[in-house]
Homo-oligomer: A and B are copies of this chain.
Amino acid sequence: MKLSSQAQAFVLHFGEMGSRWGFNRTVGQMFALLTIHPEPVNADQLAQALKISRGNVSMGLKELQAWRLVELHHLPGDRKDYFTAAGSIWDLARTVFEERRKRELDPTLTLLRQLLLNEPQDEQEAEAQERIQEVYDLLELLDQFANTLSRLQQKDLLKLMKLGSGLSKLLELKGKVKGGPSKAK
């Protein structure tokens, strides 16, 4: 497998950005490669193209599977496992988005919920709990919103994202229109 210099640059960049997106350099590179390369690729090809060890590829694929970002394929007459990116670019983005929501929000929500169960023992703690409650409310709302977005049909999501400044105008309409959506909360 040879990568064009375009592909090379794309892959290397996704490696660099990897850590910001929640995976390490080689996992980022593997993901990028599978994303620009439409044909299924096996582990040896990945190792060769990215110049990393076979063991590292195995671990990276395991992680990409945990993220549900890759699909396993088999080619007739070949015992090797072949991989492709799972679905369209939009599917991939949605999956990364959901997975990050889970990893970045859920553990914190769980902890804060526990903290809020305790009765504050003094004025100091009562004050701290107030702030914790504020953080909790906000993260909970964010979490629900992220969930709502994940569940939207692609065409609705596209419509929403393209609204731009039309979004606030649309929000003004809410509840003011006969037969429109009813007031939430």
Determine how close the nearest CB of chain B comes to the CB of A21; give it in whole angstroms: 7
Max count, chain B CB within 10 A of own CB: residue among A14, A115, A120, A128? A128
Q: Indicate whether A95 reaches chain B with its CB closer than 8 angstroms.
A: no
| A143 vs B80: C-alpha distance when bound (angstroms) | 39
Q: Indicate whether A81 reaches chain B with its CB closer than 8 angstroms.
A: no
| A161 vs B185: C-alpha distance when bound (angstroms) | 11
| A138 vs B14: C-alpha distance when bound (angstroms) | 15
- Identity of the chain B residue whose Cβ is nearest the Cβ of A145 in the assembled complex: B161
| A93 vs B160: C-alpha distance when bound (angstroms) | 22
Chain A residues close to B by CB (< 8 Å): 4, 6-7, 9-10, 13-14, 17, 20-22, 35-36, 38, 88-90, 93, 103-104, 107-108, 111-112, 115, 118, 120-122, 124-125, 127-129, 131-132, 134-135, 138, 141-142, 144-145, 148, 152-153, 156, 158-171, 173-174, 177, 180-182, 184-185
* Besides A141-B158, A162-B185, 17 new A-B residue pairs in contact (Cβ under 8 A), listed by A number: A4-B121, A4-B128, A7-B125, A13-B108, A13-B111, A17-B107, A36-B128, A89-B131, A141-B162, A152-B168, A153-B168, A156-B168, A163-B181, A166-B174, A169-B181, A173-B177, A173-B181
Top 4 A-B residue pairs of the complex, sorted by shortest distance between their CB atoms: A169-B181, A166-B181, A145-B161, A89-B134
